[in-house]
Structure 1
Amino acid sequence: MTTLFVTVGLPGAGKTTRARRLARDHHALRLTPDDWMIPLFGEPEAGGGRDVLEGRLLSLALDALRLGTNVVLDFGCWSRDERSAIRGLAESTGAVCRLVYVPVDEATQRARIAHRWSTAPEDTFPVSEADLARWRTQFEPPDEAELLGHGTDAPPAGWPGWAEWAADRWPSFP
């Protein structure tokens, strides 16, 4: 069965390293926004450009799943709603969605980000202590039931389905 692997975690957790391994081991297409943002825009967010890019990559992932290609979506997926939307969309193609949570403690996260910046600044972006603190408050770690794939949450109130929610979250998602 075709599988969508979704990496979940904060910057510096090791998501992209895990995503590369998953892509190799499962003959999967790996879609990582960070691989595109710096070459295209020279920065990680680009005034909302990241959300636009993620919407296009999500659409490409669903097309690949429909064609029978495994996909690794390396977004980070900080919110349960994002993960539920992606799971629901993947399941609508007949694929299985597997969350791959990569937790990281603060000291390891700081060390990895500092190492990345010192060894490959052209492939990364600066991260401040304020960024790290803010991101930790925004991140919603998945619980055991979510990691085991027990059902997909219903969309938030006011949304008829996950496709509509996703089109609002990722403006370029069709």
Structure 2
Amino acid sequence: MKSYVFERLEMVQIATLHLMVGLPCSGKTTLARELERKYSALRLTPDEWHIRLFGQDYGENMTESTEAKHDARHDTVESLMWDLAARVLVLNVDVILDFGCWVRSQRDEFRARAKELGAEFKIHFLDVSEAELLERLQTRNKQKTDTTFYIPEAKLKEWIQIFEPPTAEELK
């Protein structure tokens, strides 16, 4: 009597860290929500958590002290989100970090973190002109939602100056 052994070949699925890159009002969160549905991924958007935990603590007439407090809170939220993201990636579930990552060093750090976990890495860059960003900012600020911060126009203009768009090499 012959016996046949059939080995089951399992497809190895590797989770992907999707990094949203762009300035406020570029459409990152809108795209992140679409990717969340498309990939059945965990979407982590810091503004949503920050506002829920600490309220609307950003806006016009901020002092250096209140802005520093906001920034420290935001850094804490992003750190907690990364801890969650790392665990979820290890469980083979895609994660979308809706962080913005305005400078290359931040993007390189997340690329290295993904590699260390054995996850794939993809940047989703939303390149929007300054004029369009400022127009969208006016609309955003009028809406006053529970999930986005009011951003003074002067701040957005400041951030535009420090933003480093991803290079073609980064987007590969």
TM bin, normalised by shorter chain, reads 0.7 to 0.9
Q: Percent of counterpart pairs with the same letter?
A: 43
Q: What is the root-mean-square deviation in Å for CA atoms of aligned residues?
A: 1.4
Is 1:80–2:88 an aligned residue pair?
no
| Shift, 1:118, TM fit | 1.5
How many corresponding residue pairs? 148
Is 1:95 matched with 2:108?
A: no
Per-residue CA distance 1:45-90 (angstroms, 9 max, x = gap): 6251101110110111111000111000000001111111111001
In 2, Cα distance between the equivalents of 1:74 and 1:115? 20
Are 1:34 and 2:58 counterparts? no
**Residue of structure 1 equivalent to 2:20:** 7
**What letter matches 2:126 in structure 1?**
V
SS of structure 2 residue aligned to 1:65: helix
Unaligned runs of 5+ in 1: 149-174
Cα 1:47–1:16 change in 2 (3 A) is closer
Structure 2 match to 1:70: 94
Q: Does 1:141 align with 2:154?
A: no
Correspondent of 2:32 among 2, 10, 19? 19
Distance (whole Å) between structure 2 residues aligned to residue 122 and residue 146 of structure 1: 33
| C-alpha separation in 2, matches of 1:121 and 1:96 | 33
Q: CA deviation at 1:123?
A: 3.2
The alignment's TM-score, normalised by the length of structure 1, stands at 0.80
| 1:108 Cα deviation after fit | 1.3
Give the superposition deviation at 1:127: 1.9
Q: Give, as a single letter, the amino acid of the residue that structure 2 aligns with 1:68.
A: N
Instruction: Indicate the structure (1 or 2) with the bigger Cα radius of gyration.
Output: 2
Q: Does 1:58 align with 2:82?
A: yes
Instruction: State the distance in 2 between where 1:122 and 1:109 align.
Output: 20
Residue 121 of structure 1 deviates from its aligned partner by 4.0
Measure the CA separation in 1 of the matches of 2:71 and 2:41.
30
Displaced runs of 4+ in structure 1, greater than 3 A? 120-123
User: Matched residue of 1:124: which SS?
Assistant: coil
TM-score scaled to structure 2, two decimals?
0.81
Question: Which AA in structure 2 matches 1:147?
Answer: L
Note if contact 2:130-2:160 (Cα within 8 Å) is conserved in structure 1: no
